[in-house]
Amino acid sequence: MNERFATVAVRTASRPSLKSVVMGVALAVAAVAAVVPMAHAAPGAGGMQGMHGPMGFMGSPEHIDRMVDHMLDGLNATDAQRAQIKQIAQSAATDLRTQRQAGRDLRQRSMQLFTQPTVDANAVESLRQQQMANMDQMSKRMSLAMIDISRVLTLEQRQQMAAKMQQRAERMRERAQRHQGQPPAPAPAQ
């Protein structure tokens, strides 16, 4: 799982000033608050990335069914395979919905901690650990869904799906670079 973590290190030869301590805490709280959303948005953040997050496990049941159908288009998936994968995706979505809400609650708590007259470093660290545990639970649930889906599809179908998802990721990367005004980066070596 590829995740980005922000690390802030402040080294001083003498005792740090109050301003540098406050800035360090502010950066740490901002980094902690950003970890969960980055993990959900980053390609390869666990599970099978593809359609609006990990394998389309977000949205209404109808939306998830459409995303599964779209994902399986061109793979010669049988009706039985489609039904099984839709059930796996719906179950994962239900579980992940609860965990996403927990993540939102933790981010809200981080802002509450940050706006206190005195920021409690121990509370911030405890909250960071809770956020990481929540991310780990989400990653495990997405991995379980990926394993369950892999048992429904043939090796050839899984390979075709991986190629399709890689092409989609490349198109998204190019689109993001165009929006940022950057020339497209070369495709990663395989």
Asked if the structure places residue 140 within a domain, the reply is yes
Asked if the structure places residue 176 within a domain, the reply is no
**139: its two tokens:** 């990653």
Q: Tell me, what's the pLDDT at 127?
A: 94
Residue 28 backbone dihedrals phi, psi, to 5 degrees: -65, -45
The residue range of the domain holding 48 is 19-169
Asked if the structure places residue 1 within a domain, the reply is no
Contacts of 151 (CB under 8 A, 6+ apart): none
pLDDT tens for each residue of 75-110: 999 999 999 999 999 999 999 999 999 999 999 999
Q: How many domains does the chain have?
A: 1
pLDDT tens for each residue of 10-62: 333 344 455 444 444 444 444 344 433 333 333 333 333 443 344 457 788 89
Asked if the structure places residue 11 within a domain, the reply is no
Asked if the structure places residue 101 within a domain, the reply is yes
Q: Are 53 and 40 in contact (CB under 8 A)?
A: yes
For the segment 62-68, the average pLDDT, to the nearest whole number, is 91
Asked if the structure places residue 174 within a domain, the reply is no
Asked if the structure places residue 106 within a domain, the reply is yes
